[in-house]
Amino acid sequence: MENVVELTEIDDAIIQIKMQDKKSKNTFSQALTDGLIKAYKYIEKQEKYKAVILTGYDTYFASGGTQNQLMSLSDGSGSKFTDFDLYSLSLNCPIPVIAAMQGHGIGGGFAMGLFADFVILSKESIYTTNFMKYGFTPGMGATYILPKKIGITLAEEMLLTARNYRGDELKTRGIPFSVLRREEVMHHAYELGKSLAEKPRVSLVALKDHLVAEMRNELPKVIQQEVKMHEITFAQPEVKERIKTLFGQ
């Protein structure tokens, strides 16, 4: 059985993290969560790498929380999204991370991708922060990273309406990322990784530390606010019913 998180050296300086939990379509299953945390811990200890490429499989990048996780949150019996800090893995990684989002980025999966230093979308894929579709407020740092990376106007629209957007539509809306045909995404990620690998690692680490210092400092406060909103919004009976009937649609 293949690992749901596969680490591959692209060359001596570039490592790829591939999320491929095909059983759960890259929702944040326990296997995927554990695999991602272990992968980033491994990379943090390796001083030869200069860039990370984070990607998914086939038409899926990452799909957010599982239905069982959301139901447990609505019951008040589940762990919080803060118990397993997936959202800031890329932000806290010492070297630059490229999110090659060749497939769908859904809910917390889309937010997680935006915490990378570089983001590449595919024209054909769906990207959505669909939290409010189920009636609960966004988590995973989405209320922070969307305005930060794509601007407040589009971020408010995506967060409040919870609708689906094709990468092609986001490109016409002026999203500040490369949006390419799906078959071109990984090639572009590799070329970007090679460009980073030409630089001294010490300089890459120092510059990333400087560029993301504000986000690293501000994010914990926003996460606390998201958890407080969850305590209110997940308690609504309507939310549980929406998760039961709408999940996966």
Q: Which are the catalytic amino acids?
A: 230
CB-based contact 139:226 (threshold 8 Å): yes
| Angle CA 8–14–16, to nearest 5 | 35
Give CA–CA dist 52/111, Å, rounded. Answer: 17
CB-based contact 130:66 (threshold 8 Å): no
Give CA–CA dist 65/12, Å, rounded. Answer: 34
Give CA–CA dist 220/217, Å, rounded. Answer: 7
